[in-house]
Structure 1
Amino acid sequence: MSGTRTRLNTADRKTLLLRATCHVIARRGVRGLRVEDVAAKAEVSTTLLYYHFTNRAGLLAATMEYVNDRAGSYTAAPAGLTGRQQLLHQLLAEFQDTDEVRDNSAVWNEFRATAVFDPSLHDIAKAATGTWNADIADTIARGQADGSIGSGVDPGSTAERLTALVEGLSNRWLTGMLGTDRAHQQVRTALDKECPLGS
């Protein structure tokens, strides 16, 4: 073994650092996040971390964006589904027994909780929530357009209730008070009530 390490391009280095940040936040919280711990987890120098993100605030903002993008990739529905089927897929995919999904959920919950006491995180949490609500509202509207969701459903307010439900269930799911199957069942029940089938 030569001991040489493969050189990563800039995008891959940033992804490595953001993944390490998620790992640290999921286990120590936002308040417990230290740049040195992220650098150690990623096996890089703190100088590299500051080079890419400028400071701790920049790292946190980039991490929230990364969490949103990563959630978008694992909740993306396959082609050919109705809007309602796509909506169900998006919501159920928030509860998967994988480290990636659990870390994502933990980081998201940490950001929301810490933003209560840290005004510097308000805008980050608000923007991420707005993006998620908008994505879900778009899917509901798509379901109305294809007839799989009733026309009387208000996409914006319904999306807000459904995402709030997922956030609440997520806390219980992460702590083991709610199993994945039960979380899925609750999502299905809520979807039946919030988004009745189109006529």
Structure 2
Amino acid sequence: MSAEARTEQTRAAILRAACEVIAETGFEKVRMRMVAERAGVSTAALHYHFATREKLFLEALRYSYDTTGSENAASVPPSEAPHSWRLARAIDDCLPGDTELRRDFLLWQELHLRAVRDPDSRSVARDLYANLRDWIAGIVRDGQGAGEFEACDVGRLADLIIALTDGYGARILLGASAMTMDDARDQIWAVVAPQLGLRTPVPAAGSRAAAG
């Protein structure tokens, strides 16, 4: 393995560890030493890659978004999946439905808190939300192009899906309202589907569990 490849491998290990520790502990309680121990590297190696806790946090968020998106995109070839399935899967991927997605959802909540007060975090939050909006809007436009979805304001629908998954996801995490993943999926789909001219229940194959 080349030195460059080892460097990238170490960096990825640090970012994965940071995602885990921040989701478990919360950003304010995280120390660089904790991340180094989880990643299996020295604190010197950690500081070589990330000079401050804040920079590590923001890079970890970008890493989480990029890697989760890549894994989900690769799971089912778009050409072989109905667009309604793809949209249902996107909704699932925005909810804390399994260990990985719960971790990612918690990272987003940490970002929300910091973005209110920190300009750098606010910039990252805007970029990530713009990417998320574009991803969902792309699925809807593809479905419209294929004649599967009716015409609608695509941007507004993408914003609505993000708002609904943020809200329902928070209720799932709180665990105080008996809100389940199935409840959230059904209720979000009941709002979204009519705007696309769909009159069928949320596709069961949209769930990550069903796809696995």
The TM-score, its normalising length taken from structure 1, stands at: 0.85
Whether the 8 Å CA contact 1:92–1:187 is kept in 2: the answer is no
Q: Are 1:57 and 2:54 counterparts?
A: yes
Q: Are 1:78 and 2:76 counterparts?
A: yes
Superposition pairs of residues 1-199 of structure 1, within 5 angstroms: 9-76=6-73, 78-79=76-77, 80-95=80-95, 97-151=97-151, 153-177=152-176, 178-197=179-198
Q: How many aligned residue pairs are there?
A: 190
In structure 2, the CA distance between the partners of 1:109 and 1:120, relative to structure 1 (3 Å rule), is same
The TM-score, its normalising length taken from structure 2, stands at: 0.81
Following TM superposition, by how much is the alpha carbon of 1:141 offset from its aligned partner in structure 2, in angstroms?
0.7
Which aligned runs of 4 or more in structure 1 are off by greater than 6 angstroms?
A: none
Following TM superposition, by how much is the alpha carbon of 1:129 offset from its aligned partner in structure 2, in angstroms?
0.5
- Give a deviation string over 1:153-192, Cα, whole Å, max 9, x none: 1111110111111111111112224222222222322221
Whether the 8 Å CA contact 1:20–1:41 is kept in 2: the answer is yes
Following TM superposition, by how much is the alpha carbon of 1:96 offset from its aligned partner in structure 2, in angstroms?
5.7
Whether the 8 Å CA contact 2:150–2:195 is kept in 1: the answer is no
Superposition RMSD in Å:
2.1
Following TM superposition, by how much is the alpha carbon of 1:120 offset from its aligned partner in structure 2, in angstroms?
2.8
Aligned residue identity for 2:76: P
Paired with 1:108 and 1:71, the residues of 2 have a C-alpha distance of: 13
Paired with 2:7 and 2:40, the residues of 1 have a C-alpha distance of: 15
Following TM superposition, by how much is the alpha carbon of 1:78 offset from its aligned partner in structure 2, in angstroms?
1.6
Paired with 1:120 and 1:28, the residues of 2 have a C-alpha distance of: 21
The alignment partner of 2:30 has SS state of coil
Identity %: 29
Identify, as 1 or 2, the structure richer in helix: 2
Whether the 8 Å CA contact 2:19–2:60 is kept in 1: the answer is yes
Paired with 2:153 and 2:40, the residues of 1 have a C-alpha distance of: 48
